[in-house]
Amino acid sequence: MPNYIRAKFEGGYYFFTVVTYRRARLFETQLARDSLRQAISRTRTSHPFETTAFCLLPDHLHCVWKLPQGDADFSMRWASIKGIFSREYPRPERHQHVALSRANKGGLCIWQKRFWEHQIRDEWDLQRHIDYIHYNPVKHGLVKSAEDWPWSTYHRYVEQGHYGTTDGFAGIVAHDTTDFGE
């Protein structure tokens, strides 16, 4: 088994991709979205972090977090979010998410075991990842424009004047997506 080495920059910005098990389209339901929101909120209460950008798609999510100074433990935060969600998401909804490898132990597999993480290096890297997050629903063919996707911080960025409103992505540069964890 590979030995994964994660970046550990205290107080830094990080980009994440977190995917459901076998890409189950779990987040198509309001119940799943609400359960995830609650898991994130509870984790943030006990282990603070700032969500810089976020987009929830049916089978995965992307986000950029800023961790507090002196803290680099994003893995614990993801373990908490995934754990809270997995324990509290209603049982009738999760029956199809039982992993065969865990069935003998009575376990569920709602999430892929690992997640993609990238330490943001500079302002350009941060903007590139924020743009990628906001454009992701368009990339996946879910909507024609980022403004049509409701589960994204894109709307907050428009309100703050970071994006133009004519085409939804005025000034956004197309980026190579080979290093975004999908």
Are the C-beta atoms of 64 and 15 separated by less than 8 Å? yes
173, pLDDT greater than 90: no
The pLDDT confidence band at residue 162, using thresholds 50, 70 and 90, is confident
Place of tokens 């970071």: 162
Q: Token pair for residue 81?
A: 């979010």
Mean local confidence (pLDDT), 9-30: 91
Q: pLDDT above 70 covers what percent of the chain?
A: 75
Q: pLDDT above 90 covers what percent of the chain?
A: 65
Rounded Cα distance, 120 and 129, in Å: 8
> Rounded to two decimals, what is the model's pTM?
0.83
126, pLDDT greater than 90: yes
Q: Token pair for residue 1?
A: 């088994």
Q: Token pair for residue 145?
A: 């424009």
169, pLDDT greater than 60: no
Strands (E), 60-172: 60-66, 116-119
Q: What element of type H or E holds 55?
A: strand 50-56
Domains of the chain: 13-120 (3.30.70.1290)
139, pLDDT greater than 90: yes
97, pLDDT greater than 90: no
Mean local confidence (pLDDT), 86-109: 61
106, pLDDT greater than 90: no
102, pLDDT greater than 90: no
Mean local confidence (pLDDT), 22-45: 95
Mean pLDDT of the chain: 84
In what side-by-side order are the strands of the sheet with 60-66? 50-56, 60-66, 13-19, 116-119
The pLDDT confidence band at residue 149, using thresholds 50, 70 and 90, is very high
